[in-house]
């Protein structure tokens, strides 16, 4: 078996390469590549490990003929075109927890620097001025810290602030009351945080909803004399408005580690009194850089070798422990998706993936991804679980997941229902011995069949002699039947035939079969 091949294109801890090799991957460390140089060699690799220097653009992705995964050693993926990677079927991972403590500690450090005006005091002291009476700081003890974002890093900042005897209030739409109690913080809306906080720290990604969350309007709502710290993402704060608020005294101090445009060679904030900054150092500790390098290597190797998906930004996560259990379900789901995709006669409007029994106890997202991958192969021959949801969304397909607690006839069941102009069409399957995918229901007709290889699908009126006529036709054309599966709604009613064939069925034979008495539909299938 050929080993997966990985390129490390940015400088990383050397132990990252060692982990790739230990896990069964070949690895090349080639840093400092220009985009043109990367384009020339990227087609040879299954994985690309980066930090912030390598820019993975749409143009570069167009040359990634074998690439399966991009791993970013760090949390920010601004340097990766994720939509283009998704369309190409490439998993994009980051390491959101490797530098969490480091970034949280940097926010606390900047809070102290603001509270005691340390940078300015240091500069004037070293200039020989000894300005002992020129600085009057504030204590953090007893003050209120307002968090905007209470996820991983925000929660660490909260725990450190509570240790400093601060009161912590937090705004985060995803923060549950139970989690707030667990963290020891008060959940509040944004206006309350702005109005009450003595210090505000930001810990949220940059999205359309969070861009300029500290706008001119919101800065005006803050408690007069507030101090603001941003170690999250540039663009969360309106830098021009912040300068005005500093100059007016509405904001007593501000510390930024990130800017809207980086490298920040110039900024309206530079030179503003009571403003301090650092050049995006939130993750810059020895420990953090080692952690993220090791984590990205472990995650990428796990995916390339075992199929485990951790911290992926464009597909459901799937642990190495889950992967073996889900693998047969994903095989079943892909076959069911492929079946409805091949039988659909028009553009689909919706798809529903239902699970019951043992399947309902599993992570449904990978099952859904596999169904969509099978379905979307009718549109593209390069589709996989990564780009299938992207293609489905692009075509306006409404995707729904339903988990049933009920017990059915089968110990486990996956049902796929699609909406067509003729109404809903549904197929269902189970696993025999928990490993072998088996079709058990097709458009409301009970029929058990293995979906594999070349198959012939026929809908006909149930009548004596039809099977003999079909067998004669296939035999006359030298086509051998592997397995034979029959189902019907009622005696003399509509019947369904699924035949596995040793070879592909020529169009001429399909045309002849369609002319047999009672035949309604004839279609060749391939799995």
If one compares 205 and 318, the residue with the highest pLDDT of the two is 205
pLDDT the model gives residue 380: 65
Contact predicate 127/165, CB 8 Å: no
Of 233, 377, 415, 425, the catalytic one is 233
pLDDT the model gives residue 386: 76
Of 22, 62, 247, 262, the catalytic one is 262
- In this prediction, residues 73-100 reach a mean pLDDT of 88
**Which range has the worst mean pLDDT, 134-138, 167-171, 224-228, 463-467?**
463-467
> What are the pLDDT digits (tens) for 63-83?
999 999 999 998 878 899 988
Is a pLDDT exceeding 70 seen at residue 43? yes
pLDDT the model gives residue 322: 73
- In this prediction, residues 421-431 reach a mean pLDDT of 87
Greatest mean pLDDT range, 76-85, 135-144, 421-430: 135-144
Confidence band of 381 (pLDDT split at 50, 70, 90): low
pLDDT the model gives residue 425: 85
If one compares 110 and 407, the residue with the highest pLDDT of the two is 110
pLDDT the model gives residue 171: 96
The mean of the pLDDT values for the chain is: 91
Smallest CA-to-CA distance from 278 within 102, 22, 41 is with: 102
pLDDT the model gives residue 457: 92
- In this prediction, residues 418-436 reach a mean pLDDT of 87
Residue 240: count other Cβ atoms within 10 Å of its Cβ.
Answer: 13
E strands in 186-333:
186-187, 199-202, 226-230, 251-256, 275-277
Annotation marks residue 454 as catalytic: no
The dihedrals phi and psi of 92, each to the nearest 5 degrees, come to -115, 120
Q: Which residues pair with 426 in a beta bridge?
A: 417
Is a pLDDT exceeding 70 seen at residue 176? yes
Of 106, 160, 280, 415, the catalytic one is 280
> What are the pLDDT digits (tens) for 283-320?
889 899 899 999 999 999 999 998 888 888 887 777 66
Annotation marks residue 233 as catalytic: yes
- Rounded to an integer, what distance in angstroms lies between the CA atom of residue 490 and that of residue 392? 36
Smallest CA-to-CA distance from 15 within 283, 286, 281 is with: 286
Is a pLDDT exceeding 80 seen at residue 379? no
- Rounded to an integer, what distance in angstroms lies between the CA atom of residue 516 and that of residue 509? 11
DSSP-derived 3-state class of residue 355: strand
Confidence band of 186 (pLDDT split at 50, 70, 90): very high
The dihedrals phi and psi of 290, each to the nearest 5 degrees, come to -65, -45
Is a pLDDT exceeding 80 seen at residue 474? yes
DSSP-derived 3-state class of residue 524: strand
The dihedrals phi and psi of 101, each to the nearest 5 degrees, come to -65, -45
Is a pLDDT exceeding 70 seen at residue 472? yes
Annotation marks residue 196 as catalytic: no
Q: From residue 474, how far is each of 294, 341, 369, 516 by CA, in Å?
A: 58, 25, 37, 12
> What are the pLDDT digits (tens) for 502-511?
999 999 999 9
Cβ neighbourhood burial of 415 (10 Å; 0-12, 13-18, 19+): buried
Domains by residue range for the chain, with CATH? 5-96+287-306 (3.40.50.720), 100-277 (3.40.50.720), 321-451 (3.30.1330.90), 454-527 (3.30.70.260)
Contact predicate 35/57, CB 8 Å: yes
Residues of the chain with pLDDT > 90: what percent?
Answer: 66
- In this prediction, residues 334-357 reach a mean pLDDT of 87
**Which range has the worst mean pLDDT, 7-11, 189-193, 324-328?**
324-328
If one compares 299 and 207, the residue with the highest pLDDT of the two is 299
- Rounded to an integer, what distance in angstroms lies between the CA atom of residue 366 and that of residue 333? 9
Is a pLDDT exceeding 90 seen at residue 134? no
Is a pLDDT exceeding 80 seen at residue 430? yes
Smallest CA-to-CA distance from 157 within 128, 126, 120, 185 is with: 185
- In this prediction, residues 414-426 reach a mean pLDDT of 86
pLDDT the model gives residue 391: 76
Confidence band of 494 (pLDDT split at 50, 70, 90): confident
């Amino acid at each position: 078996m050929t080993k997966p091949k990985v390129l490390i294109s940015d400088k990383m801890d050397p132990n990252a390469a060692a982990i790739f090799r230990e896990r069964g991957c070949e690895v090349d460390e080639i840093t400092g590549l220009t985009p043109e140089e990367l384009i020339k060699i990227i087609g040879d690799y299954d994985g690309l490990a980066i930090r912030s220097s390598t820019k993975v653009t749409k143009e570069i992705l167009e040359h990634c003929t074998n690439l399966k995964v991009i791993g970013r050693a760090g949390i920010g993926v601004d340097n990766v075109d994720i939509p283009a990677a998704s369309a190409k079927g490439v998993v994009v991972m980051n390491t959101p927890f490797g530098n969490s403590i480091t970034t949280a500690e940097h926010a606390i450090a900047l809070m102290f620097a603001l509270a005691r005006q340390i940078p300015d005091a240091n500069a004037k002291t070293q200039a020989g001025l000894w300005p002992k009476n020129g600085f009057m700081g504030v204590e953090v003890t007893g003050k209120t810290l307002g968090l905007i974002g209470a996820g991983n890093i925000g929660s660490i900042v909260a725990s450190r602030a509570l240790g400093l005897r601060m009161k912590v209030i937090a705004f985060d739409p995803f923060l549950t009351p139970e989690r707030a109690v667990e963290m020891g913080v008060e959940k509040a809306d944004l206006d309350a945080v702005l109005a009450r906080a003595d210090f505000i720290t930001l810990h949220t990604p940059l999205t359309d909803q969070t861009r300029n969350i500290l706008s001119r309007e919101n800065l005006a709502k803050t408690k007069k004399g507030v101090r603001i710290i941003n170690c999250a993402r540039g663009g969360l704060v309106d830098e021009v408005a912040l300068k005005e608020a500093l100059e007016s005294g509405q904001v007593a101090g501000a510390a930024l580690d990130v800017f809207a445009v980086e490298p920040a060679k110039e900024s309206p904030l530079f030179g503003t009194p009571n403003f301090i900054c650092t050049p995006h150092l939130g993750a810059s500790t020895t420990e953090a850089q080692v952690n993220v390098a090791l984590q990205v290597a472990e995650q990428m190797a796990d995916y390339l070798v075992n199929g485990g998906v951790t911290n992926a930004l464009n597909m459901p996560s799937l642990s190495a422990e889950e992967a073996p259990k889900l693998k047969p379900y994903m095989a079943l789901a892909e076959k069911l998706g492929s079946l409805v995709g091949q039988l659909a006669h028009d553009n689909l409007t919706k798809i529903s993936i239902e699970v019951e029994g043992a399947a309902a106890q599993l992570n449904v997202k990978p099952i859904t991804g596999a169904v969509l991958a099978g379905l979307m192969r009718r549109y593209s021959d390069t589709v996989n679980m990564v780009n299938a949801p992207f293609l489905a969304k692009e075509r306006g397909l409404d995707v729904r997941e339903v988990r049933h607690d009920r017990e059915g006839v089968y110990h486990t069941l996956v049902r796929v229902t699609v909406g067509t102009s003729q109404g809903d069409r549904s197929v269902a399957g189970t696993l025999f011995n928990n490993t072998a995918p088996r079709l058990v229901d097709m458009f409301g007709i009970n029929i058990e069949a293995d979906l594999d290889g070349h198959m012939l699908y026929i809908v006909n009126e149930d009548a004596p002699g039809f099977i003999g006529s079909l067998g004669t036709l296939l035999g006359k054309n030298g086509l051998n039947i592997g397995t034979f599966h029959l189902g019907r709604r009622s005696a003399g009613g509509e019947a369904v035939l699924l035949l596995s064939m040793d070879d592909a069925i020529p169009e001429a034979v399909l045309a002849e079969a369609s002319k047999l008495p009672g035949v309604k539909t004839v279609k060749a299938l391939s799995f």
